[in-house]
Amino acid sequence: MDKSGGCLCRAVRFDARNVPSTYGICHCPSCRRWMGSALLEVSVKTDDVTWYGAEYIATRKTSAWAERAWCRECGTALYFRQTKPGEWFGATDLPLGLFDDPNGFTLTHEIFVDETPDSFAFAQGDHKRLTRADVAALNPDIKTT
């Protein structure tokens, strides 16, 4: 499938072709610090992603074998990319939340599961779950549509 997406401020946009309907989760400490949580990612061939607003994309080598990118304007995390040959070389991992329509994906794998904080167990426990309308009722600045 083809999908589009971009950062929070819309300075950076992308079109992705041949996007798989699957996604994975990475719980490694680097991804958790970068995302502020686990990385939910869709892996797309690097050549199948066209970027717009490239002048707003900043990159940083974050290990001996990978780089991460973000928007210089708003700080949105844009992608993870392996830079040395290996299992995931040649792919760009796009955070699921960047897609304009993040629906239709199925979780197929998690990595670094032995490093998942116990507080990431969203489906467990008895916790409050609010809809957009519930949150808007508490804060009138939030739109309901």
Distances (CA, A) of 123 to 48, 71, 100, 120: 34, 31, 25, 9
In a domain, 11, yes or no: yes
SS3 (DSSP) at 20: coil
pTM for this structure? 0.86
In a domain, 134, yes or no: yes
pLDDT value of position 38: 93
Number of domains in the chain: 1
In a domain, 41, yes or no: yes
pLDDT for residue 142 is more than 90: no
CATH of the domain at 115: 2.170.150.70
In a domain, 17, yes or no: yes
Question: Which phi and psi angles does 111 have, rounded to 5°?
Answer: -125, 160
| Confidence grade of residue 17 (pLDDT, cut at 50, 70, 90) | very high
In a domain, 145, yes or no: no
Residues in the chain: 145
Residue 118 CA, distance from chain mean position: 21
In a domain, 109, yes or no: yes
Query: What six digits make up the tokens of 10?
Result: 């819309």
Lowest average pLDDT, out of 3-7, 25-29, 58-62, 75-79, goes to 25-29
Encode pLDDT of 104-136 as tens digits. 999 999 898 888 888 887 665 566 767 778 877
- Structural domain harbouring 36: 3-138
Query: Among candidates 12, 38, 9, 7, which has minimal Cα distance to 23?
Result: 38
State what percent of residues in the chain have pLDDT above 90: 65
Residue 8: CB partners within 8 Å, gap ≥ 6?
A: 71, 74, 75, 76
Encode pLDDT of 47-103 as tens digits. 999 999 999 999 999 888 889 999 999 999 999 998 888 777 889 999 999 999 999
SS3 (DSSP) at 60: strand
| H or E element at residue 50 | strand 49-52
In a domain, 144, yes or no: no
Distances (CA, A) of 27 to 11, 17, 84: 28, 26, 21
Top pLDDT among 40 and 129 is at: 40
pLDDT value of position 124: 58
